[in-house]
Structure 1
Amino acid sequence: MNEVLRRAMYDANLTDLDLSARLEVDPKTVRNWMHGRIPHRRTRDALTRLLGVDEDVIWPRSSGAEKIHPTEIAGVYPRRTSISSLNWLSFYEAAKSEIGILAYSALFLAEDARVVRLLTEKSRSVRIRIALGAPEGTNVVERGVEDEIGEAMAAKIRNSLALLRPLLIQDGVELRLHDTVLYNSMYRSDDQLLVNQHAYGIPAAQSPVFHYRQSDDSEMFDSYLTSFEAVWSRGQDRSGILTRLSRCRAVVVPSDG
C-alpha cells in the first residue's frame, strides 16, 4: 500500500471513486496506484494537482522506475527470428476479437501454412485487418534499396498476396495496400502487440521486436495503435485487389524482410 498516496487522498477528502471520475480512469486503476503501481506522466500530473501534493513526495523515484520497466512492456526480442513459429501461432490463437498485421510484405507469416490456416479459421469470429505495401509504391522501392534487395521487395509482397489468397477471400478479412514509410511493422492480437523495429540497412527479420500488452493506462500501446490506424486510413481498400491476386503466382524470394 502506498500510504503517502492514501493519506493525500484522505487529506483531500477524495476516494478512489472520486479520483476515478475526475481522471476518467477505471476505479481498479486507482486501486492499483494505491497498491504501488505508478501512473504514467500525464496522469501523475493531473493526480498531484488534484491532491495538492508534490509528485516526488508520493513517488520518490517514479521517473527512474518508469524508465526502467514500463508495465506495458511484456518482453523484448533481439531480432524477429527469435520468435518461433509456435510462438506466432500461440500469439494469434489467443485473439478473440481483433487481429492486425501492418508490414511491407509479412512474407514470413504468409509462407507458414499453419499460420494461414489458423488465421483463416479465426476469420469466422475475429476481425482481421492486413495492410501490406503496394508493390509499385515509391516507399516499397525505397525500402528495397535500404535492404539492398532492390525489386525483390515488390516481389515479396506479391508472393505474400498469392500465398495469403485462401485467407484474403474470407468475408471477415480486410486487406489494404499502403504506400507509407514504415518505421516499424506491427502485429496485433487483441490487447497484445508485437512491434518489429526497422533500421536502415538491416532486414526486419534481424531487427528487435518489442512485445506490448495494453493496460488501463497504457501509452505506448495506444500510440502504436494510433499509428496503425493512420496507415490503415490511407491504404487502398480491397476493391480491385482480389482481381490483382488472381494474376499473382508465388516465386521463391527470401522472406527476411
Structure 2
Amino acid sequence: MPNERLRDALLRAGLTPAELADRVGVNPKTAERWITQERPPYLRHRRAVATLVQERESYLWPDALPPNRLERINQSEVVRIYSRRSAVPTDLWHRLMEQATATISILVYSGLFLPELFPRLAKTLAQKARDGADVLVLLGDPDSPNVRERGHDEGIGEVMAGKVRSVQRSYEPLRGVKGARVGLHRTTLYNSIYRFDDEMLVNTHAFGFPAAHAPVLHLRRLGSGDMFDFYADSVDRTMSTSLRLWPDEEAAAT
C-alpha cells in the first residue's frame, strides 16, 4: 500500500523521489519503496526525511514507532507542568513571544491578562506578522451560548462576554495586517492554547474555576511526538469554523 502522506509531503516540498534519495543519502530505489510500498525507513532516515519535508515522523509513518516508545516521546514533549497560570514565570511568556518567528497562535475566550502582560501586545504581533510570522488570535464570540455558559460556570455571568468585548479593542492594530488574523469562535474550549513556534502553553479548564486557577502544560515539539501537534490541530479546527472579527476583512479574503 503506498504512503500517500509521504507522496503528498514530497509534492508540497517540490522534491522527486530521486532528489529525496540524493538529499538523504540512499539508493533511489530505496526511496521509491518508501513511497510505493509504505516501507518505513530506518530511524535516522525517518528523521532526515521529516526534517526535509517539514512534517512530523508520527504523521508520515504512524505505525513506525511502538506504542511504548511513542508514549515516552510524548512525555518528553512536556517540559513542565505549572499548578496554575499565575505560576508560569513572566520571563517565560516574554521569551516565547520574543523568540517566535514563524507561528504565534492564541486560542482563548478573552485572554484579558495578555494585554496586561504585554502592554504592546497587538503592535508586537503586528510586527511579527510583517516579519513573516503567521499570527492567529481567536477570541470567543461574546454573543455565543458558549461564552455565556462559560461565564455562568465561573460564576461571573455576563461579565465574561464583557471581557471579550473589552479585549477586542486591544487588537485593533492587527486590523488589515497581512499575515495576521483575529477571529471569533463559537466553540466549547476545554483548554486555552498559546503557541509560539515549537513551544506551547496549554491552560487547562476546569468547571467552576477561572482559567487563571487551572494547571498549565509547557510543551515543546519533538519530531517523533504527537502531543504538541494534538493541541496544534485543535487550534486549526477552531480556526476553520471561526469568523473574522472585522467583517470587511472577511469580505476582502473571499
Do they fold alike, i.e. is TM over 0.5? yes
Aligned in 2, Cα 1:218/1:149: closer, same or farther, shift over 3 Å?
Answer: same
Q: Offset of 1:46 from its aligned partner?
A: 4.0
For residue 100 of structure 1, what is the amino acid of its counterpart? Answer: S
How far apart, CA to CA, are the structure 2 residues paired with 1:239 and 1:47? 45
Aligned in 2, Cα 1:26/1:161: closer, same or farther, shift over 3 Å?
Answer: farther
Matched, 1:27 2:45: yes
Equivalent position to 1:121, from 123, 127, 131: 127
- Runs ≥4 residues deviating over 3 A: 16-21, 43-48, 65-69, 114-117
Aligned in 2, Cα 1:124/1:148: closer, same or farther, shift over 3 Å?
Answer: same
For residue 109 of structure 1, what is the amino acid of its counterpart? Answer: L
**Residue in structure 1 matched with residue 168 of structure 2 by the alignment:** 161
Q: Offset of 1:169 from its aligned partner?
A: 4.4
For residue 124 of structure 1, what is the amino acid of its counterpart? Answer: R
Equivalent position to 1:202, from 197, 201, 209: 209
Structure 1: segments with no counterpart, 5+ residues: 1-15, 31-38, 49-54, 56-61, 244-257
Q: Offset of 1:84 from its aligned partner?
A: 3.3
> Residue deviations 1:33-82, cap 9 Å, x none?
xxxxxx98xx796457xxxxxx9xxxxxx47x946971111111111111
> Residue deviations 1:12-45, cap 9 Å, x none?
xxxx977994336762649xxxxxxxx98xx796
Bigger CA radius of gyration = 1
> Residue deviations 1:169-227, cap 9 Å, x none?
43331011001000001101111111110000111011111111111111111111111
For residue 134 of structure 1, what is the amino acid of its counterpart? Answer: D
For residue 90 of structure 2, what is the amino acid of its counterpart? Answer: S
1:93-132 to structure 2, matched below 5 A, reads: 93-111=98-116, 112-125=118-131, 126-132=133-139
How far apart, CA to CA, are the structure 2 residues paired with 1:124 and 1:220? 30
Q: Does the 8 Å contact 1:141/1:150 carry over to 2?
A: yes
Q: Does the 8 Å contact 1:88/1:115 carry over to 2?
A: no
How far apart, CA to CA, are the structure 1 residues paired with 2:187 and 2:44? 36
For residue 161 of structure 2, what is the amino acid of its counterpart? Answer: A
1:32-51 to structure 2, matched below 5 A, reads: 46=64
Query: RMSD of the alignment, in Å?
Result: 3.2
For residue 77 of structure 1, what is the amino acid of its counterpart? Answer: Y
How far apart, CA to CA, are the structure 1 residues paired with 2:203 and 2:65? 34
Aligned in 2, Cα 1:118/1:177: closer, same or farther, shift over 3 Å?
Answer: same
Matched, 1:213 2:220: yes
Q: Offset of 1:166 from its aligned partner?
A: 1.9
For residue 23 of structure 1, what is the amino acid of its counterpart? Answer: P
Aligned in 2, Cα 1:242/1:105: closer, same or farther, shift over 3 Å?
Answer: farther
How far apart, CA to CA, are the structure 1 residues paired with 2:44 and 2:97? 27
Q: Does the 8 Å contact 2:137/2:182 carry over to 1?
A: yes
Q: Helix, strand or coil for the counterpart of 1:166? A: helix
Matched, 1:91 2:96: yes
How far apart, CA to CA, are the structure 1 residues paired with 2:74 and 2:240? 32
Matched, 1:228 2:246: no
Q: Does the 8 Å contact 2:105/2:193 carry over to 1?
A: yes
TM-score if structure 1 supplies the norm length? 0.69
How far apart, CA to CA, are the structure 2 residues paired with 1:47 and 1:204? 35
Q: Offset of 1:115 from its aligned partner?
A: 3.2
Q: Helix, strand or coil for the counterpart of 1:118? A: helix
Structure 2: segments with no counterpart, 5+ residues: 1-24, 49-56
**Residue in structure 2 matched with residue 182 of structure 1 by the alignment:** 189
